[in-house]
Amino acid sequence: MSHSKIYIKSIVFLTSFKRLIRDSIGALLLKNWKQSEKKNVMSLEVAMLPDVLRIQEEGFETRNQGKLIKYSRRLRKIFYVIKNQNQVIGYSIYYILLTPSFRGFKKKSVICSIAIDRNFRGRGFGEILLKESIQEMRQNKITSVLLYVNIKNISAIKLYEKLDFRIIGEKKDICGEDEKCYEMELNLI
């Protein structure tokens, strides 16, 4: 086996191991998670997963249904859906990061994926979903919320800016191969 193949396999292994550690720590932090009453927004239930997968598939070119299924098991408390007349019309999924600070560690959340059914876009459901889930983040002492959005997704960027997210950087290959995206953050403290 060539040195480049060994190097690539090592990088893939380390990246996977890093994600496993991150997700395991995040799942542990959810043991004492305080859920709040939210209007039409709730934590994912298993029966809702097919609707979530459909919305994700129609909303994104790159489909990572395996990740959503995995997070539906591990991070159910912070995997939110929004309903309209008992129909799932959108979802948002977060994961939790611990970051070092001068006072120990800060808890940050990252929006892994968010989407609204195309038939319900532009009606304020995304804003409701974000506001309700972010309020619960505040209650659980999350210091900030991060997200990545394709720089071409102007309507999403406007929504995030309306909710006080700020662009803090630009990344490549996170929102898709050869795609640029903004890294945005909302400070909660």
Query: Scanning the structure block, which residue is given the tokens 């006080």?
Result: 164
178 vs 92, more confident = 92
Buried b vs exposed e over 19-38: b needs ≥16 C-beta within 10 Å?
A: eeeebeebbebeeeeeeeeb
**Over residues 52-63, mean pLDDT:** 82
**Over residues 28-35, mean pLDDT:** 76
pTM of the model: 0.82
CATH code for the domain defined by 3-187: 3.40.630.30
Average pLDDT, the chain: 86
Give the pLDDT score at 167: 97
Per-residue model confidence as pLDDT tens digits over 65-119: 888 888 888 888 899 999 999 999 999 999 898 888 888 888 999 999 999 999 9
In a 13 Å sphere around the CA of 87, the CA atoms on its Cβ side amount to: 10
Q: Is 81 helix (H, G, I), strand (E, B) or coil?
A: strand
